[in-house]
């Protein structure tokens, strides 16, 4: 049996409640007893029992983290470890625990979340993805349970605390970069259409095109999974167009790897034949050949802010929903270059 608050009280010659007050750093406690109690705690190797605290407190000091379903291969994206780092960092500072929740299927995921909230296991929840019409979001909303999203909610945007980049602007600027480089046929390769992030970046792509007076063509937009076969089809479709693109905006660095792979297999060199830009700046993007010009979305910060935002909300339920925008910057490497002068048309 571990040492309890009573044992400490006995040794220190005070009441259990006094020990409790010392733990909580209660103001009205004399420096003398405080010292006495702390000494006893140290000597006896006392450590508070989390469950007992939670029970008495009705607060678990832990927050749930929901990753996308692992059916989704995107789980393997280094994006996640990186957000986790950010979350972890503030969790550590604020003495919160992180409780993980994944699942093979959407059903499993929802079950996991329900379990967490019903059982009072967590004080709040962070969603590491955002998709349209998410049952988990609906559940959390219905329960009036504190949560925040990394990304942009598909709906009820200003009822939900979330931290995001300005993905529309990011999409616009990175596309504009290609345009400034002289490209006029620019395609967009994105993931699933119901991921909000895809939509936002595509919207930016559209805006840049329009601003430059370039057409926004249906056949230049491909949506696919990032895995090999997906990237493959995307590239084949694009290259078989009568006027194949010379610039590519790819929604994710990982996807870019697959795309570049295919491009090479089709005999196209990056950036000589086609320029490619993408998003996220995971560490991999400097290991590729060529290293990627990409939007650094500051993943770590997204995590930090999401955790801070949630904890604020947990501590004070009346805290209003916030939208936190993490700045991005474009990292110029060598996957994009000036469009080569086209051979003069006949």
The residue ranges that bind a copy of itself (CB under 8 A) are 2, 47-52, 54-55, 60, 62, 65, 67, 70, 73, 75-78, 80-82, 84-85, 88-89, 92, 95, 97-104, 108, 111-112, 115-116, 118-121, 227-228, 231, 254, 257-258, 260-261, 264, 282-284, 286-289
Min. distance of Cβ 3 from DNA in angstroms? 8
121 Cβ neighbours under 8 A, 6+ residues apart:
60, 62, 64, 99, 115
Both structure tokens of 156: 């009820």
- Is residue 6 a contact residue for DNA (CB under 7 A)? yes
**Could you give the CA distance from residue 101 to residue 119 in angstroms, rounded to a whole number?**
14
Nearer to a copy of itself, 48 or 327 (CB): 48
Q: Please confirm whether the linkage preceding 271 is cis (ω < 30° from 0).
A: yes
**Could you give the CA distance from residue 134 to residue 126 in angstroms, rounded to a whole number?**
14
CB distance 173 to 206 below 8 Å: no
Min. distance of Cβ 146 from DNA in angstroms? 18
CB distance 235 to 259 below 8 Å: yes
**Could you give the CA distance from residue 265 to residue 263 in angstroms, rounded to a whole number?**
5
- Is residue 2 a contact residue for DNA (CB under 7 A)? yes
Residue 16 binding partner per list a copy of itself, DNA, none, with a CB distance cut-off of 5 to 8 Å that depends on partner kind: DNA
**Could you give the CA distance from residue 238 to residue 220 in angstroms, rounded to a whole number?**
7
Residue with tokens 């955790």: 307
Min. distance of Cβ 314 from DNA in angstroms? 14
**Could you give the CA distance from residue 303 to residue 86 in angstroms, rounded to a whole number?**
4
Min. distance of Cβ 130 from DNA in angstroms? 32
Nearer to a copy of itself, 64 or 171 (CB): 64
Of 7-26, binders to DNA (CB under 7 A) are 13-18, 20-21, 23-24
Q: Which of 42, 57, 193, 241 binds DNA (CB under 7 A)?
A: 57
**Could you give the CA distance from residue 112 to residue 100 in angstroms, rounded to a whole number?**
9
Residue 33 binding partner per list DNA, a copy of itself, none, with a CB distance cut-off of 5 to 8 Å that depends on partner kind: DNA
Order of strands, edge to edge, in the sheet holding 329-331?
221-223, 186-190, 247-250, 275-280, 293-296, 329-331
> 115-144 b/e with 16+ CB inside 10 Å = b?
ebbeeeebbbbbbbbbbeebebbebbbeee
Residue 85 binding partner per list a copy of itself, DNA, none, with a CB distance cut-off of 5 to 8 Å that depends on partner kind: a copy of itself
Min. distance of Cβ 131 from a copy of itself in angstroms? 18
Q: How far apart are the first and last CA of the chain?
A: 89
Q: Which of 56, 218, 343, 345 binds DNA (CB under 7 A)?
A: 56
Min. distance of Cβ 38 from DNA in angstroms? 12
Binding span for DNA by CB under 7 A among 3-11, 243-251, 298-306, 334-342? 3-11
Nearer to DNA, 120 or 138 (CB): 120
Residue 156 binding partner per list a copy of itself, DNA, none, with a CB distance cut-off of 5 to 8 Å that depends on partner kind: none
**Could you give the CA distance from residue 346 to residue 328 in angstroms, rounded to a whole number?**
43
Min. distance of Cβ 40 from DNA in angstroms? 12
**Could you give the CA distance from residue 120 to residue 103 in angstroms, rounded to a whole number?**
20
Binding residues for DNA, rule: CB under 7 A, are 1-2, 4-6, 13-18, 20-21, 23-24, 27-30, 32-34, 46-49, 52-53, 55-58
């Amino acid at each position: 049996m571990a040492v309890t608050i009573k044992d400490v009280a006995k040794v220190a010659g005070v009441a259990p409640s006094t020990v409790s007050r010392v733990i909580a750093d209660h103001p009205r406690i004399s420096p003398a007893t405080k010292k006495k109690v702390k000494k006893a705690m140290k000597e006896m190797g006392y450590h508070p029992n989390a469950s007992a605290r939670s029970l008495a407190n009705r607060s678990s000091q832990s927050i749930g983290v929901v990753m996308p379903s692992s059916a989704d291969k995107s789980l393997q994206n280094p994006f996640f470890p990186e957000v986790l780092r950010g979350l972890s960092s503030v969790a550590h500072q604020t003495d919160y625990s992180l409780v993980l929740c994944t699942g093979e299927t959407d059903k499993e995921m929802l079950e996991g979340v329900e379990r967490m909230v019903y059982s009072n296991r967590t004080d709040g929840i962070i969603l590491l993805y955002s998709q349209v019409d998410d049952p988990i979001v609906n559940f959390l909303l219905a329960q009036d349970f504190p949560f925040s999203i990394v990304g942009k909610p598909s709906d009820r945007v200003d009822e939900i605390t979330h931290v995001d980049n300005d993905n529309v602007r990011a999409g616009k600027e990175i596309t504009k970069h290609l345009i400034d480089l002289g490209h006029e046929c620019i395609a967009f390769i994105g993931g699933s259409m119901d991921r909000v992030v895809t939509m936002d970046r595509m919207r930016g792509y559209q805006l840049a095109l329009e601003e430059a007076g370039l057409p926004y063509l249906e056949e230049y937009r491909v949506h696919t999974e990032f895995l090999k076969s997906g990237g493959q089809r995307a590239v084949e479709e694009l290259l078989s167009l009568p006027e194949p693109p010379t610039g590519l905006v790819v929604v994710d660095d990982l996807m870019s790897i697959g795309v570049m792979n295919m491009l090479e297999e089709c005999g196209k060199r990056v950036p000589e034949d086609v320029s490619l830009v993408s998003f996220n700046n995971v560490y991999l993007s400097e290991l590729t050949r060529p290293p990627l010009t990409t939007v650094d979305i500051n993943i770590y910060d997204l995590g930090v802010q999401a955790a801070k935002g949630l904890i604020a909300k947990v501590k004070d339920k009346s805290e209003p929903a916030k939208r936190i925008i993490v700045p991005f910057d474009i990292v110029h490497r060598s996957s994009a270059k000036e469009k080569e002068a086209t051979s003069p048309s006949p």
